[in-house]
Structure 1
Amino acid sequence: MSTLSELFMFYNVENFFPAENIKYEKSISGLYNWDDYKYGLKLRKIKNVFNWINEDFGQIPSIIGLAEIGGVSVLEDLQQEDSPLRNHQFLYKKSNDSRGLSVALFYDEEKLNLKNFYSLSFSISENLVADTRDILQAEFEFNNENLHVFILHLPSQRLQDEKKNLRNKIIEAFKNILSKIIEKQESIIIMGDFNENPNGEKIKELLLDNFGNRIFINPFENLFSNNQFSSYYGSKGLLFDQILYSKNLLEKLNFTSSEASIFQNEKIRVKNSKHPLRTYSGSRYLSGFSDHFPVLLKLEK
């Protein structure tokens, strides 16, 4: 199915655990007094974000990557009743993450034909799998071409960036996977929380092949240089949430231009502030949406 524009989205939804397993997850998730009511409220709020995106862009994104999903029931509940995602399908596999969080993907099966789905885990050593989120890989047929989509949430910069080496090691291994697809001249979209800004050394390396040739486009570089942010650490703006695409994608999929944006609707911001209205601040419940804004990539003909 070919249209004049396609929308792709990534959203880190901040510790989105189902209420029923929070007694087990509480010690690792950091959620205090999480219950059915608060879970139901967050469900409605996140669904509303998709409704507002639909109002602004005139469509629900064809592909939606999500981070910080605490269980498959969250994805099932996001599709219930009059949900804007009720006609999408989802892909998910629980990761070996110390906080019990994983990435997930929703896709519009009227536009995309799923061919393969993988969950990529990474090892610290020969016998030890890293305690972090897997990278989700999906291969679709889209506009009569193969499209590979990767959803990631790389290790965080917490505690003086103690997981920086692990993050860098994952990026290096990931580059090898990408290079094999690039050799076949097939299209790629990478979306996620990179825990690095667009000007980060490893993010810039990811855009290049081993000979220094640019193979990926990062349309969020310009947004970051113009002080546009998807989250904040105190007063410091961050743009860890990004969507990259292979240099050949526009031509392969029959599009002519791309536009990146950060969805900063006032309804999901702190009143009179640039900051997203988060669910928790430390142990304090704020009843918000997420500590990240969604990011979007629009392809046009």
Structure 2
Amino acid sequence: MMFRYLLLIFLLAVLGTNAQDKKYTVYGMAFYNVENLFDTVNSDDTNDEEFTPDGSYHWNEMKYENKLKNISTVLNQLGGKYCPQGPAVVGLAEVENRKVLEDLVAYGNIADKNYQIVHEESPDYRGIDVALIYNPAIFTLESHKTYPFELPEDTKYKTRDQLLVTGHISGEKVHVIVNHWPSRRAKSIRREQAAAVTRAIVDSLLNDDASAKIFVMGDFNDDPTNNSIKKVLKGKRKKSEVQNDEMYNPYWDFYAQGIGTLGYKGSWSLFDQILMSKGLIDADKKELFYWKSEIFNKDFLINQEGQFKGYPKRTHSKGIYLNGYSDHLPVITYIAKEL
């Protein structure tokens, strides 16, 4: 019975006082860069030597087990205020392979959620991929497809594929595109080129259905005001600004307030975002519609002392093992539907 999985709440702040007799089901759509979720085995085809017992991080079974425990702890709490059974889907970045995903979803903290996995290997030299896990009691998988980021002028350049996952929530089709764009060590044009790949996927979906419900989530390695997000992906700060093929970016307001998902050199960046198509902000309340977005910023995820006080508690810092969670904070967007 769905009431066992989902929280029914009054959305009076959004829908007004006339909605007092109406109830809504809330669903969470989340993203988390889990920072180097590697197993301990050396793979011949990737540069993962650091994450082996003999590597620079001395990555052993104890550390791997701690990493699984920490990430599963986050996933167990993510969205729980409104979605007791957790998010419908969680996009993930920096996972090494399917095995680490299988170990993660089977971990005690979240094993009862029965998360299923969507994953394909990417050509990234470090061996890190994007993936998506989903709760089959809430999200019904229809299909998935990967899209490579290729440079004809530089065939040696390798990075993460983009993952498109299509499925159904409450009988409605939704599309989720999971991204991890080139790092800040690369020129900004590389992220703009990655954004163009995402933009082409979105355009294809909208050509098939102008009111398609599309989520673009990921670690973009750019902030909401950078050209890759603002211009190429056509991300808008306000819902009222969104036209036709443009996208709403609720994380722009967070960024304008100085709120971010990772700290670097004394300041916050907001690389982790979830954008959505016009079909989610224009929808009738009897369809799935956008409610609100959050950055999951709990005290246990933050360093409480030392040089990096106030920033996310990562797994390693300057070669020192911290037994942290990730250098990124998770983000989650809530959608709802009238019962």
Q: Same fold (TM over 0.5)?
A: yes
Q: Secondary structure at the match of 1:190?
A: strand
The verdict on how the C-alpha distance between 1:243 and 1:222 changes in structure 2, with shifts beyond 3 A counting, is same
Check the 8 A contact 1:121/1:130 in 2, yes or no.
no
* Structure 1 residue aligned with 2:324: 288
| Alpha-carbon shift at residue 283 of structure 1 (Å) | 1.8
**1 or 2 for the larger relative contact order (CA 8 Å, sep ≥6)?**
1
Check the 8 A contact 2:248/2:278 in 1, yes or no.
yes
TM-score, normalisation: structure 2: 0.80
Q: Secondary structure at the match of 1:124?
A: coil
Residue by residue over 1:44-67, the C-alpha shift from the partner in whole angstroms, topping out at 9 and shown as x without a partner, is 111111222254443310010010
Q: Which ranges in structure 2 are unaligned for 5 or more consecutive residues?
A: 7-23, 237-241
Segments of 4+ in structure 1 off by > 6 A?
A: none
Tell me whether 232-241 or 15-24 shows the greater mean CA deviation: 15-24
| Alpha-carbon shift at residue 128 of structure 1 (Å) | 2.5
Q: 2:199 aligns with which of 142, 165, 175?
A: 175
Aligned mates of 1:257, 1:150 — CA distance in 2 = 17
Aligned mates of 1:254, 1:53 — CA distance in 2 = 24
Aligned mates of 1:53, 1:212 — CA distance in 2 = 31
Tell me whether 242-251 or 199-208 shows the greater mean CA deviation: 199-208
Check the 8 A contact 2:28/2:79 in 1, yes or no.
no
Q: Which ranges in structure 1 are unaligned for 5 or more consecutive residues?
A: none
The verdict on how the C-alpha distance between 1:113 and 1:59 changes in structure 2, with shifts beyond 3 A counting, is closer
1:202-241 aligned within 5 A: 202-205=228-231, 206-207=233-234, 215-241=246-272
Please say if 1:138 is aligned against 2:169: no
Structure 2 counterpart of 1:291, one-letter code: D
Structure 2 counterpart of 1:152, one-letter code: N
Aligned mates of 1:107, 1:55 — CA distance in 2 = 15
Aligned mates of 2:327, 2:194 — CA distance in 1 = 24
Check the 8 A contact 2:296/2:332 in 1, yes or no.
yes
* Structure 2 residue aligned with 1:268: 301
1:101-140 aligned within 5 A: 101-125=128-152, 128=155, 130-140=157-167
- Highest CA radius of gyration, 1 or 2? 2
| Alpha-carbon shift at residue 22 of structure 1 (Å) | 7.0
Q: 2:334 aligns with which of 286, 298, 301?
A: 298
Structure 2 counterpart of 1:72, one-letter code: R
* Structure 2 residue aligned with 1:11: 32
Check the 8 A contact 1:28/1:100 in 2, yes or no.
no
* Structure 1 residue aligned with 2:49: 26
What is the aligned residue count? 297
| Alpha-carbon shift at residue 214 of structure 1 (Å) | 5.8
* Structure 2 residue aligned with 1:47: 72
Check the 8 A contact 1:102/1:133 in 2, yes or no.
yes
* Structure 2 residue aligned with 1:187: 213
Aligned mates of 1:77, 1:278 — CA distance in 2 = 20
Check the 8 A contact 1:22/1:34 in 2, yes or no.
no
* Structure 2 residue aligned with 1:149: 176
Aligned mates of 1:239, 1:81 — CA distance in 2 = 29
Aligned mates of 2:75, 2:271 — CA distance in 1 = 21
Aligned mates of 2:235, 2:79 — CA distance in 1 = 34
Structure 1 counterpart of 2:220, one-letter code: F
Check the 8 A contact 1:97/1:131 in 2, yes or no.
yes
| Alpha-carbon shift at residue 274 of structure 1 (Å) | 2.4
